[in-house]
Amino acid sequence: MNAIVSAYRRYTDFAGRSNRRDFWLFLVFSMIAGIVLQQIDHHYNLMMMSGKVGVLAGVFGLLTIIPFLALKVRRLHDTGRSGWWILFQLVPLVGTITLLYFMAQQSQMGGNRYGVAPAA
């Protein structure tokens, strides 16, 4: 729970580092919450855009996109990479797979140019 609150609290912090656990917990939370909200939208007919996106799921997505981008950048920093690697995700399929590989890697031990290692 602390990882999720921390991601929203640090939504403007694109500097520093975030550990692997925080990233994956926030990703799983976001996916589950999005699916649940989409089901609620569908059940109560709160759909917009020709029935493709629900109101609650859409608002949740908008509230989550910036904190998730900041968390991705901090996670890249934790592996010793620049946050600009996030743009590689714009390359279809290859970019997404590469970034998932980067996110799954272990943290650099000790300090690196982006700061000290975050507490586990």
The pair of three-digit structure tokens given for residue 20, joined into one six-digit string: 């692997």
Average pLDDT over residues 54-76: 96
| pTM of the complete model | 0.90
Q: Is 61 inside any structural domain?
A: yes
- Total tally of structural domains belonging to the chain: 1
Q: Is 100 inside any structural domain?
A: yes
Average pLDDT over residues 57-78: 96
Q: Is 117 inside any structural domain?
A: no
Q: Is 9 inside any structural domain?
A: yes
Q: Is 52 inside any structural domain?
A: yes
Q: How far apart are CA 20 and CA 32, in angstroms?
A: 18
Of 94 and 50, the one with more pLDDT: 94
Q: Is 116 inside any structural domain?
A: no
> 70: burial class by Cβ within 10 Å (0-12, 13-18, 19+)?
buried
Domain encompassing residue 77: 2-104
Q: Which amino acid is at 36?
A: V
Helix ranges (H only) for 16-93 are 20-43, 55-78
Please state, rounded to an integer, the average pLDDT across all residues of the chain: 93
Q: For position 50, what pLDDT does the model report? A: 75
Q: For position 12, what pLDDT does the model report? A: 93
Average pLDDT over residues 74-89: 95
For residue 17, give the 3-state DSSP assignment: coil
Average pLDDT over residues 75-104: 95
